[in-house]
Amino acid sequence: MKEFKKSRRNFINKAIAVGGLGIVAPSLVFTAKGNSIGVTDEQKYQRPKVLFFDVNETLLDLNVMKKSIGNALGGRPDLVSLWFTTMLQYSLVTTVGNQYHDFGKIGGAALKMVGLNNGVVITDEQAGEAIKPILSLPAHPEVKEALILLKKEGYKLVSFTNSSNKAVESQLKNAGIYDLFDDRLSVEDVGKFKPHYDAYNWAARKMGFESKDCMLIAAHGWDVAGANWAGWQTAFVSRPGQQLFALANPPEINEKDLLLIAKQLVKL
Amino acid sequence: MKEFKKSRRNFINKAIAVGGLGIVAPSLVFTAKGNSIGVTDEQKYQRPKVLFFDVNETLLDLNVMKKSIGNALGGRPDLVSLWFTTMLQYSLVTTVGNQYHDFGKIGGAALKMVGLNNGVVITDEQAGEAIKPILSLPAHPEVKEALILLKKEGYKLVSFTNSSNKAVESQLKNAGIYDLFDDRLSVEDVGKFKPHYDAYNWAARKMGFESKDCMLIAAHGWDVAGANWAGWQTAFVSRPGQQLFALANPPEINEKDLLLIAKQLVKL
């Protein structure tokens, strides 16, 4: 199985996506010398047995946060991307240092740092207030329909987030999509943030599946990269402001919203 | 020794820095209830046996880069911090995914992502050109004098960077400070970026010292946090635009430039 997996990855690396989007299932592969060779059926993608969904940005719309965070930074919505990236960076800083803190706490610390670098002193209380709206984000418009479609199709659906267990419970309930998931996992239980290899391994084992049977669906280049490195299939939701990491393998599916991804998965 | 180390850390966590800067050696510690207790001599800081210096920003002035990167992003110097943070984030993304790429390559990929998110398409070649100035940055004005002072004082000086071996050789030679170091280490040899716990452990072993004998001197909150979690002493160079991470222990020394730090180290 491993060999097939490896050759499939090499195949993907060399493949040219059909139309740039959609399922990356080219009918031709180009060799190093530019010659095309046929692709056999066994190289096509298998139906995953379990779908893991990233939550923030992937399912839920972070735009509300952008306002509260921008306001905390002294009316600088242009600094929101820097804040979010700093939060992601420091989640990994703690992970590689064998530390763990609640994602929200790291977000607060990151907000204070970005503030200080831009002449704005933010207290712990103010940071907490600015981040609070993350608990009541609306789902992106197509999300509910997509999840219902996948559920009807027999897929096992699991949310898998860097948010804490408590936070994601509020998030999914407030967005009205809590009951659509068979299970809800947080990296809090493994103590290492995505995209740590161990986080995906833990999630697969927790759900009782092998890595090859898992697919991660996420709107972050780093998340699909990490899941792929852990042997999972991946689907990238190319929401505005989100990009793939050029030094990672491309995802099996690449679509601009979740419903389009669901429709690809229904076909498998 | 470990117990002393631990109690010293707890002590630091509770300590109030004298004047906010300088060596954190308060004469009073406040207990949870706000009572003050005396501090014994054995809790004071020991002279480190080896000083590790971060390179980018800590020793070398990245301002030249800011121009070339800002230009590549379509004349957006305001996006330079986002680029640098994205590069740091993705260096850890690769590390936690058990991958490794040259720091410059990750910088190029990060630049392309930030570009795309802001409507600017950057080719690999353009990214390489934009990042090239990192090889010929000038040292910050006080760096050479500080290094010479520490060398005369008998300290063992080692550079320790996320840049590749080849890159740091150019960097230090171009800045005219190559020969001031007893050794030059790159995370390239351990395949994990700072602040991974293993990177500091590897560097200490490579130089033949125990963690407690090492001090990291860096202008990045994440670097001093990671070194501290690995059992090293730390000194933070609070250069403009650099902040400590609020969820980590404070450094032993906190000064605004390297000469001030060197003067503190001479006193030990």
pLDDT digits (tens, 9 = 90+) for A112-153: 999 999 999 999 999 999 999 999 999 999 999 999 999 999
Q: What pLDDT score was predicted for residue A119?
A: 96
Q: Go through the domains of chain B in sequence order and give each one's CATH number.
A: 14-39 (no CATH), 45-60+137-267 (3.40.50.1000), 63-136 (1.10.150.240)
Q: What pLDDT score was predicted for residue A23?
A: 52
CA–CA separation, B15 and A23 (whole Å): 57
pLDDT digits (tens, 9 = 90+) for A15-26: 433 334 455 543
pLDDT digits (tens, 9 = 90+) for A48-90: 999 999 999 999 999 989 899 999 999 999 999 999 999 999 9
Q: What pLDDT score was predicted for residue B170?
A: 98
Backbone angles phi, psi at A13, to 5 degrees: -60, -35
Q: What pLDDT score was predicted for residue A30?
A: 36
Q: What pLDDT score was predicted for residue A31?
A: 33
Of B98, B112, B245, the CB nearest to A109: B245
Residue A243 in contact with partner chain B when CB distance is under 8 A: yes
Q: What percent of chain B has pLDDT over 90?
A: 82
Q: Which residues of B touch A96 (CB under 8 A)?
A: 92, 95-96, 192-193, 195-197, 226
Q: Which residues of B touch A125 (CB under 8 A)?
A: none
Residue B226 in contact with partner chain A when CB distance is under 8 A: yes
State the pLDDT confidence band at B45, using cuts at 50, 70 and 90: confident
Residue of chain A nearest B241, judged by CA positions: A117
Q: What percent of chain A has pLDDT over 90?
A: 82
CA–CA separation, A183 and B76 (whole Å): 43
A80-96 vs A103-117: helix axis angle to the nearest 10? 130
Q: Which whole number is the average pLDDT over A255-259?
A: 98
Which of A247, A249, A256 would you mutate first to test chain B, the one with the most B CBs within 10 A? Answer: A247
Residue B121 in contact with partner chain A when CB distance is under 8 A: no
Nearest to B262 by CA among B174, B132, B152: B152
Helices (H), chain B: 2-14, 63-72, 80-96, 103-117, 124-131, 143-152, 165-174, 197-207, 221-229, 258-267
ipTM over 0.90: no
Which of B9, B87, B88, B89 would you mutate first to test chain A, the one with the most A CBs within 10 A? Answer: B89
Residue B120 in contact with partner chain A when CB distance is under 8 A: no
| Higher local confidence (pLDDT), A41 or A98 | A98
Query: What are the DSSP E strand ranges found in A129-169?
Result: 156-161
CA–CA separation, B222 and B231 (whole Å): 14
Q: Which residue has the tokens 């068979």?
A: A182
Q: Which whole number is the average pLDDT over A209-226?
A: 98
SS3 for A146?
Answer: helix
Average pLDDT of chain B is 88
Of B97, B108, B112, the CB nearest to A195: B97
Contact in structure between A203 and B73 (CB atoms under 8 Å):
no
Q: What pLDDT score was predicted for residue A44?
A: 60
Are the beta carbons of B229 and A98 separated by less than 8 Å? yes
Indicate the range of A38-47, B58-67, B215-224 predicted with least confidence: A38-47
Q: Which residues of A touch B81 (CB under 8 A)?
A: 82, 117
Residue of chain A nearest B201, judged by CA positions: A97
CA-atom Rg of chain A in angstroms: 19
Nearest to B183 by CA among B199, B167, B165: B165
Nearest to B168 by CA among B50, B52, B48: B52
Integer distance in angstroms from the first to the last C-alpha of chain B? 20
Are the beta carbons of B113 and A221 separated by less than 8 Å? yes
CA-atom Rg of chain B in angstroms: 19
Task: Assign 3-state DSSP to chain B and report helix, strand, coil percentages, each to 5.
Answer: 50, 15, 35
Indicate the range of A27-31, A92-96, B126-130 predicted with least confidence: A27-31
Q: Which whole number is the average pLDDT over B131-151?
A: 98
Contact in structure between A160 and A216 (CB atoms under 8 Å):
yes
Q: What pLDDT score was predicted for residue B189?
A: 98
Are the beta carbons of A195 and B93 separated by less than 8 Å? yes
State the pLDDT confidence band at B6, using cuts at 50, 70 and 90: very low
Residue of chain B nearest A248, judged by CA positions: B94
Residue B118 in contact with partner chain A when CB distance is under 8 A: no
Contact in structure between B199 and B187 (CB atoms under 8 Å):
yes
Question: Apex CA B110: angle with CA B106 and CA B114, to 5°?
Answer: 175
Neighbour count for residue B69 (Cβ, 10 Å): 26
In the structure, how many helices (H) and strands (E) does chain B have? 10, 9
> A108 to chain B nearest CA, in Å?
9
Residue type, A6: K
Are the beta carbons of A85 and B85 separated by less than 8 Å? yes
Are the beta carbons of A229 and B112 separated by less than 8 Å? no
Residue of chain A nearest B230, judged by CA positions: A97
Q: Which whole number is the average pLDDT over B189-215?
A: 98
| Higher local confidence (pLDDT), A29 or B99 | B99
Q: What pLDDT score was predicted for residue B268?
A: 93
Q: Which residue has the tokens 């990994």?
A: A92
Q: Which whole number is the average pLDDT over A165-169?
A: 98
Residue A229 in contact with partner chain B when CB distance is under 8 A: yes
Q: Which residues of A touch B218 (CB under 8 A)?
A: none
Q: What pLDDT score was predicted for residue A66?
A: 87
Which of B76, B90, B116 would you mutate first to test chain A, the one with the most A CBs within 10 A? Answer: B90
